[in-house]
Amino acid sequence: MSVSLASMRAEHPGIFADGCPTRTVLDHVMGKWGILVLLTLSDGTQRWGALRRNIDGISEKMLASTLKTLEADGLVLRTAYPEVPPRVEYALTDLGHDLMTHVIPLMGWVADNANDIVGPRE
């Protein structure tokens, strides 16, 4: 495991350069909604409607496109049941869970420190 940008650069030359895959991952995962979707799914499999309700402020359009991107990235698994009415469930893949292993502590830090950062100003 790398412990600094310099050591990461030593292992992966050109890392984080323009056009590097890491940039794409960053854009997908770190975007406005990506993290919130993944975070919500880290609580367990959920249906479309549940996601929509649990992620405050997200529109159907953004939920759909975010889920599609994350599914294509192999972080989210979509399972549609051929029933009437339709039922579709979303869950994290193993890769997604692995990612959240690192993201959850970060979110914990953000939750603990958000008021110190934003609070004094706004």
Partner DNA sequence: CAGCATCCACCTCGATACTG
Partner DNA sequence: CAGTATCGAGGTGGATGCTG
Nearer to a second copy, 6 or 84 (CB): 6
* Cα–Cα separations (whole angstroms), residue 92 to 13, 26, 51, 117: 30, 18, 13, 30
* Residue 66: closest CA among 80, 75, 106, 94: 75
Q: Is residue 80 near DNA by the rule CB under 7 A?
A: yes
| 47 vs 11: CA distance, rounded Å | 40
Choose the contact partner of 26 out of a second copy, DNA, none; CB within 5 to 8 A by kind: a second copy
Token pair for residue 66?
A: 């975010």
For position 48 contacting DNA by CB under 7 A, the verdict is yes
48 touches which of a second copy, DNA, none (CB within 5 to 8 A by kind)? DNA
3-state SS track over 21-33: HHHHHHHHHCCCC
Using CA atoms, how far apart are residues 110 and 113, in angstroms rounded to an integer? 5
- Candidate residues 25, 88, 103, 107; the one interacting with DNA per rule CB under 7 A: 88
The dihedral built from the CA positions of residue 75, 102, 37 and 19, taken in this order, carries a sign that is negative
Applying CB under 7 A, which part among 6-14, 77-85, 95-103, 107-115 lies near DNA?
77-85
Identify residues 52-71 at the interface with DNA (CB under 7 A): 57-62, 64, 68
Residue 92 interacts with which of DNA, a second copy, none, CB < 5 to 8 Å by class: none
What residues make contact with DNA under the rule CB under 7 A?
31-33, 47-49, 57-62, 64, 68, 78, 80, 85-88
